[in-house]
Amino acid sequence: MGTIIAIGAGIAVLGGLGAGIGIGIATGKASEAVARQPEAEGKISKTLILGCALAEATAIYGFVIALMIIIMLK
């Protein structure tokens, strides 16, 4: 039973991988956009921060679910 719990928690944490890749791509694209249009830096930064927060929330949800799997099923 312990092995199944560990596998389930590991799969739940994989959401952090997707969030990390997404934030990296978004930051790269925002850097390119600021380089092309420096006058739009404020709008680009606001959108980037909002997008990063949403992506990071997804990673945190996966982490919380993994903890719940470990604690509840033990």
Three-state SS annotation for 22-68: HHHHHHHHHHHHHHHCHHHHHHHHHHHHHHHHHHHHHHHHHHHHHHH
The predicted structure's pLDDT at residue 13: 84
**pTM for this entry:** 0.74
Which of 71, 72, 68, 74 has the alpha carbon at shortest distance from 12? 68
Banded model confidence at residue 70, pLDDT cuts 50, 70, 90: confident
Distance CA 54, CA 18 (A): 12
Question: Phi and psi (nearest 5°) for 61?
Answer: -60, -40
**Fold for domain 1-73?**
F1FO ATP Synthase (1.20.20)
The predicted structure's pLDDT at residue 45: 93
Domain limits of the chain?
1-73
| Number of residues assigned to the chain | 74
Per-residue pLDDT tens for 15-62? 888 888 989 999 999 999 999 999 999 999 999 999 899 888 988 998
